[in-house]
Structure 1
Amino acid sequence: MQPTKSTESTKLALSPLTPAYDSILELTPYQTGKPVEELSREYGVFDVVKLASNENPIGCSPQVTLAITEQLGRLARYPDGNGHYLKQALSDFTDINIECITLGNGSNDLLDILARAFVSADDVVVYSQYCFIVYPMVTRMQGATGVEVPAHRFGHNLDAMRQAVDDNPNTKMVFIANPNNPTGTQLQHKELHKFVASIPSSVLVVLDEAYIEYSPESNNRALLDEFNNVVIVRTFSKAYGLAGLRIGYALSSTAVAELLNRIRQPFNVSRVGLAGAVAALGDQDFIEKTRNTNQEQMHWLEKQFDALGLAFIKSHANFIIVEIQVEMEDITAISIYQALLEQGVIVRPLVGYGLPNWLRITVGIAEDNLRLIDTLRSILTND
């Protein structure tokens, strides 16, 4: 019999092998979207639609497949630990010096590296209510104090976040996702510029732009030309369709990048990942196709949710959150999630994000979205 999480935590707390910080005991493992294979094992469903992890439903560029294939005969060799060719491609693409780029095993790796580089147990980290769950996670991993600022209309309240920084002189870092995950809200250039300009230069502002390709107008690359305490983190996991390769990058001042590269693990990006990312970056026609498909299908889904009487938050990413408020005691977000699972449709419940009445749904291709809506309608109407 396997011990439960609580049993394991209790044993760890009583063991002489205690964690570095008590806050680590408060952590629970990150809950990913349910894998297709796991759903098939549990329910015997093999025709599965996964709309839970904000992956690109049309896959990746054909150029990526070719680039990966060319690396298969070289897998016995370590990758370029410095990632020179990808950094050069990113430098050209973002118009930033190559020394200002840090590569990571996905953007989550970079968020962890940032926390380890700059945050200690005596520090405060500020983030918003309904933020990406990794922000409080890396904060607790460092034994630091997290300050969650109440959201405004499901998005960042920058005035309140600025006040939180003022109220906590030992603030070391602020996390902002734009567009925000899981709510899909977006901040404007002017308000972000005003916020960063008002923050002490000793506080690092981390802008998480994981969904920037779906909302090019929220690109805040220009802030790096003016402020040395800004870091922009991006990923190839979403619009580029490389979630399985785990590769992301950070743009910052050279001083920040130099520190991050001291902490970054050697060879933290694979040979296949480096080659795939270079190829993906070079095919911007694929990104335009991805963006257009997403916008078209997002509009269709919004109409369907309106027809079903379900409230949703306008999203600037490749997902949308939907409120489950039905006047039936046995209908809840979790029960809808479970019912969808049993019929082979995977979405994401948001209980862990403090949104128990909401589901996050990735925008899929037309046939996947039709399957979702037909299944959801049948559940809500008991057909």
Structure 2
Amino acid sequence: MKWKEQMLHLRAYQPGKSIEEVKREYNLNNIVKLASNENPYGYSPMVDTALNNFGDSFRFYPDGSAQTLREKTAGFLDVDQNQLIFTNGTDELVQIVSRALLEPGKNTVMPTPTFPQYKHNAVIEGAEVREVPVVEGRHDLSKMLAAIDDETAIVWLCSPNNPTGIYMPQTELRTFMDSVPSDVLVVLDEAYYEYVDDPDDSLALIDVYPNLLITRTFSKGYGLASFRVGYGISTAENISRLEPARPPFNTNALGQLAAAAALDDPDFVAESRQANAEEKEKYYQFCQRHGLSYFPTQGNFILIDLQCDGDFAAEFLLRRGLIVRSGAVLGFPTCARITIGTKDQNEQVRHAIDELKQHVAAQPQGDLA
């Protein structure tokens, strides 16, 4: 087979262990999954109502234009319908953007660590990847700007950044955008937008900067991760250029229905955001009491330096039925990224971290036994 050279070295995305997998492997009954930043409070009950009233046949393809969802989202955001593109999660949108703009000879600029699919898709397309290390969890925008040249096609920004949770104020974003060449697409990934305490109106910037594309999702704040519905907002011209790279019927009928119903319940999202804010403050207090450094987060996750090998820490918690994400695979080798769960779930995590600290103090070599 004449594979692309880069395909011989790339690894497929490695998801965390599933709840059922952990139950089988560790002989546990009660598992708490806090590794993938799903909404611990579920989703709006309006979604179930809409799904229970689904009257179409599964033998038909879904609406390829997602027209009902398109109309509701456009009204919700106060944008034109032609400014929206709907995708199978934002992962697919990253893939579409990369496919449309990147090729050998082109380059893309991004922070590191950040969402790994930006780099993954750029490598597949044969483009040069220019990574600029974050500083205290924040994008180093001045160095990212310096990395742009005539062959730069895409700049990736992630706000709040995954895995650090740091939010980029609009003043910084505007200053950056003022200096980016107009023929370079800047993608602002706002997957965790619904969790930001007091978010800026980033959509207003599209009228000012036509080279801006904003991505959002129904997977996080809306709690619809398994339905895989993401979307992008930009100028109608940019969207029209991206659409030919979008696979037909890429969002399924039930996902479109669930997402449209979720928009009817902003109170659910507000309640989730408030509960998340209250619980993250408890993590801050816990870390401060125990001398653990962390990044102040505007997402529904927190990256904590547990002062030991991140893989070891994740495995230690896993054996107690707590699935978290090791920082070792995220660029922070002594950290763990923990989804902020419910009150009871977070108390379990903090108790387990207490045990971990005691264990490491007694066995510095990191023996799990």
Instruction: Find the residue that maps to 1:274 and give its secondary structure.
Output: helix
Tell me, what secondary structure is at the counterpart of 1:143? coil
Q: Aligned in 2, Cα 1:184/1:381: closer, same or farther, shift over 3 Å?
A: same
Say whether 1:76 aligns with 2:59: yes
> What stretches of structure 1 move > 3 A for 4+ residues in a row?
none
Which of these residues, 237, 254, 268, is aligned with residue 286 of structure 1? Answer: 268
CA contact (8 A) 1:178 1:208 kept: yes
In structure 2, distance between residues paired with 1:232 and 1:180: 14
Question: What does residue 173 of structure 2 align with?
Answer: 192
Q: Tell me the percent identity.
A: 36
Alignment of 1:358 with 2:342, yes or no, is no
The whole-number CA distance in structure 1 between the counterparts of 2:136 and 2:357 is 27
1:351 deviates by: 1.8
Question: Matched residue of 1:381: which SS?
Answer: helix
CA distance in 1, matches of 2:41, 2:217: 17
Q: TM-score, normalised by structure 2?
A: 0.94
What SS does the aligned partner of 2:86 have? strand
Q: What's the counterpart of residue 367 of structure 2?
A: none
Gaps of 5+ in 2: 363-369
In structure 1, the residue matched to 2:349 is: 372
Q: Deviations over 1:119-169 (max 9, x none)?
A: 11110000001111111101101010000012121110111111000xx32
What CA distance in whole angstroms lies between the structure 1 residues aligned with 2:24 and 2:258? 31
Give the Cα–Cα distance (whole angstroms) in 1 for the partners of residues 258 and 297 of structure 2. Answer: 28
- Asked if 2 retains the 8 angstrom alpha-carbon contact of 1:43 and 1:342, the reply is yes
Question: Does residue 236 of structure 1 match 2:218?
Answer: yes
Specify the alignment match of 2:250 in structure 1: 268
1:176 corresponds to which of 135, 147, 157? 157
Give the drift of 1:72. Answer: 6.4
Q: Which residues in structure 2 correspond to 1:137-148 (within 5 Å)?
A: 137-148=120-131
CA–CA distance in structure 1, aligned partners of residues 330 and 32 of structure 2: 23
The one-letter code sitting in structure 1 at the alignment partner of 2:349 is L
Q: Distance in 1 between matches of 2:144 and 2:9?
A: 24
Matched, 1:19 2:17: no
1:217 is aligned, of 176, 199, 202, to 199
Counterparts in 2 of 1:281-320, with a 5 A limit? 281-320=263-302
The structural deviation recorded for 1:73 is 5.4
Q: Determine if the alignment matches structure 1 residue 349 to structure 2 residue 331.
A: no
CA distance in structure 1 between the partners assigned to 2:53 and 2:89 by the alignment: 22
Shift of residue 218 of structure 1?
4.0
DSSP-derived class of the 2:6 partner: helix
SS in 2 for 1:370: helix
Two-structure CA RMSD over aligned residues (Å): 1.3
Q: Is the 8 A contact 2:309 2:328 kept in 1?
A: no
Q: Give the CA deviation at 1:76.
A: 2.2
Q: Distance in 2 between matches of 1:179 and 1:219?
A: 14
Q: Which residue of 2 aligns with 1:114?
A: 97
Q: In structure 1, what is the Cα distance between the partners aligned to 2:201 and 2:98? A: 23
Which of residues 149, 154, 163 is equivalent to 2:137?
Answer: 154
* CA deviations over 1:64-107 (Å, ceiling 9, x no partner): 11112222653222211100111111111111110110000001
Tell me, in whole angstroms, the C-alpha distance in 2 between the residues paired with 1:227 and 1:246: 28
| Whole-angstrom distance in 2 between the partners of 1:198 and 1:82 | 35
Distance 1:135 1:224, change over 3 A: same
C-alpha separation between the residues in 2 aligned to 1:192 and 1:125?
18
